[in-house]
Amino acid sequence: MPIKILLADDHSIVRQGLRMFLNLDPELTVVGEAANGAEAVQLAEATAPDVILMDLLMPVMNGLEATAAIRGRLPNVAIIVLTSVLEDAAVSAVFRAGALGYLLKDTEADELRRAIKAAAAGQAQLSPQVAARLLMEAQAPESGEPFTDHESQVLRLTARGFSDQQIATELLVSEPAVRDTIRDILDKLRLANQAQAALLDFSNRLLDHPDPAALMNYLVQETQRLLHADACAVLLPDDRPGRLRFRAASGWRRDPVAAGLHMADEDDSGPGHAIRTRQPWQVRDLEADAPATSDADVWRAEGFRGHAVIPLLVESRTIGVLALDCRRPRWLTDDELGFLRLLANQAALVLEQARLQRAEAQQQDLEEDLAVARRIQLSLLPDGCPQIAGWEFAAAYQAARIVGGDLYDFIELPGAPPRLGLLIADVSGKGAAAALFMAHCRVIIRGAALSSAGPADTLSQANEQILLRNETSHFISAFYAVLDTASGRLTYANAGHNRPLWWRAATGAVEPLGSHGLVLGLAPALAVDERQVDLAPGDTVVLYTDGITEAINAHEELFDDERLTASLAAAGGRRPQAAVDAILAAVKAFSGDTPQADDYTLVALKRLPG
């Protein structure tokens, strides 16, 4: 019966490559693939593999957490860490979590197949680099469980690349004895006492509390119980910088969470010291020792005497602190402090995982909101440009990732002479709310345009209707013009929008169309100037939104009005679509790889010569 293998790696190409060459061996079969640690835990329970190849750096739940969780639930599964990470902390941590092997991703294919088969038979697997790291750890002064001389010899030879058979020959022992020695080495790194067993149980139970509040409540209650303390609390950064707020507490007479208790994370406080140094801080007796810390009175008010603060660390980053208290003098031993740090680190990882999951859910909600906004926005844009004898039009809308509220429209007006309404607008805000407000404003402005006496009247009527129906804080800038396509006269009004640019064919000069009033939706009785220009044959007018002029480059410089004017001066003699393309190309060349922060919208109209 083939050995069943589960692959856990967040890179699909890695999983595909592993599956391909492993399935070439009739003694091996891949039964599942996981893209993160959480999926690995679920698939392990569903498929009951013999061996799991586990990457370390994965989203949602990392490989270390997944290894601990799987070993707690499926103790007979052999887990080989297969990763590109080779750090001292990672090496020892994976074996403490229960892994049977640690190999690097540059391991030869044949060697990896051999290692899988050996792991399925219960034999530990170490690459030479990993063995060297374990040997270095064993030789460190702070090492709590030094290896025997024989174990050190085996590690030393493994680090030099010796096979089990070569080590057996070198040390004059049997090959099974070498494998037993390696197992003994790993056993020293695994659960060797009751405290470590409690830690594994604690880690597994943490994973059963996905809700952050429930997780923190379990953390303080279980830590208080395991350390035989009178109280325990978790403090995390407040919304206001420089403050910590109690998020969970157990054993307190006055619940600090319900009371909204907080404290400054100053350097002279216990929590502040733990955060800055990333090291535990403790006082044997708050009464007798009377530490001169800014937070001492908070703990004394509860009758606490023995007091310890442990940083909650994720990698090298402190995300909060765990406070352990007793109502009698107490100094934690090195073993107790080490155990408490392990508890805190496990809890910190799960808290960080919960935070990332919340952030991912919020990001997903945002993406859905943006997708809705994008659909709304695109549905409101014209299908094409007007086809009118003697005139040519072009438009471009280039969406940013964060949807803005850009709008342009062509409105065929009734009556004679033949007239065309031209609208460009920009709603404040982003996302679906801004897009819905834009749709609302488009209907209002269109209705006003069809019934008003001119552009100024259109914008004034629209402002009144927007104010009557606006239940949001949004407002809208708008430029609206009426083009007499027979005479070439352009009558326009501007409500707080970017001033369009007029390229004059006779001189090649570019000038803005004057007038710049208040935006719509802020104040009643809007006063808007109405002006006129007569477009000569060959003249071009470009309408745009601020996404164009406020595009930035790597130096955080704006594209600005001056560059836009220069771009139109160079392209004004071209046909409208060519002019629009030239302006967008100039913006792109200026911005380079800097992400587009706002939508780009351009509308160009040209009176054709002759």
CATH number, domain with residue 216: 3.30.450.40
Residue type, 408: Y
Domain termination residue (choose one: 152, 168, 190): 190
User: 96 and 61, same structural domain?
Assistant: yes
Indicate if the pLDDT at residue 194 is higher than 50. no
- The per-residue pLDDT for 471 is 72
Residue type, 359: A
374: in domain: no
Indicate if the pLDDT at residue 204 is higher than 80. no
Domain range holding 565?
381-607
pLDDT confidence of 607, banded at 50, 70, 90? very high
- For 86-133, the pLDDT digits (tens) are 665 567 677 777 788 888 887 888 888 888 998 888 877 676 666 666
Q: Could you give the number of structural domains in the chain? A: 3
Q: Which of 384, 373, 260, 278 is nearest to 321 (CA)?
A: 278
**Inter-axis angle of helices 334-380 and 431-451, nearest 10:** 20
364: in domain: no
DSSP code at position 472: S
Residue 267, token pair as written in the block: 């350097």
User: 181 and 201, same structural domain?
Assistant: no
Residue 313, token pair as written in the block: 């660390």
241: in domain: yes
User: 327 and 415, same structural domain?
Assistant: no
DSSP code at position 418: -
Identify the bridge partners of residue 494 per DSSP, sorted by sequence position. Answer: 479
User: 322 and 234, same structural domain?
Assistant: yes
CB-side neighbour CA atoms (13 Å) of 502: 18
DSSP 296-363: HHHHHTTT--EEEEEEEEETTEEEEEEEEEESS-----HHHHHHHHHHHHHHHHHHHHHHHHHHHHHH
User: 288 and 250, same structural domain?
Assistant: yes
CATH number, domain with residue 515: 3.60.40.10
Cβ proximity of 243 and 264 under 8 Å? yes
39: in domain: yes
User: 218 and 255, same structural domain?
Assistant: yes
Cβ proximity of 6 and 119 under 8 Å? no
Identify the bridge partners of residue 419 per DSSP, sorted by sequence position. Answer: 413, 484
338: in domain: yes
pLDDT confidence of 135, banded at 50, 70, 90? low
pTM score over 0.75: no
370: in domain: no
Length of the chain: 610
Domain termination residue (choose one: 166, 190, 214): 190
CATH number, domain with residue 67: 3.40.50.2300
Domain termination residue (choose one: 137, 166, 190): 190
CB-side neighbour CA atoms (13 Å) of 382: 21
Residue with more model confidence, 417 or 535: 535
- The per-residue pLDDT for 406 is 86
Strands 391-398 and 317-326, bridge-based pairing: unpaired
365: in domain: no
User: 182 and 226, same structural domain?
Assistant: no
User: 186 and 226, same structural domain?
Assistant: no
- The per-residue pLDDT for 143 is 46
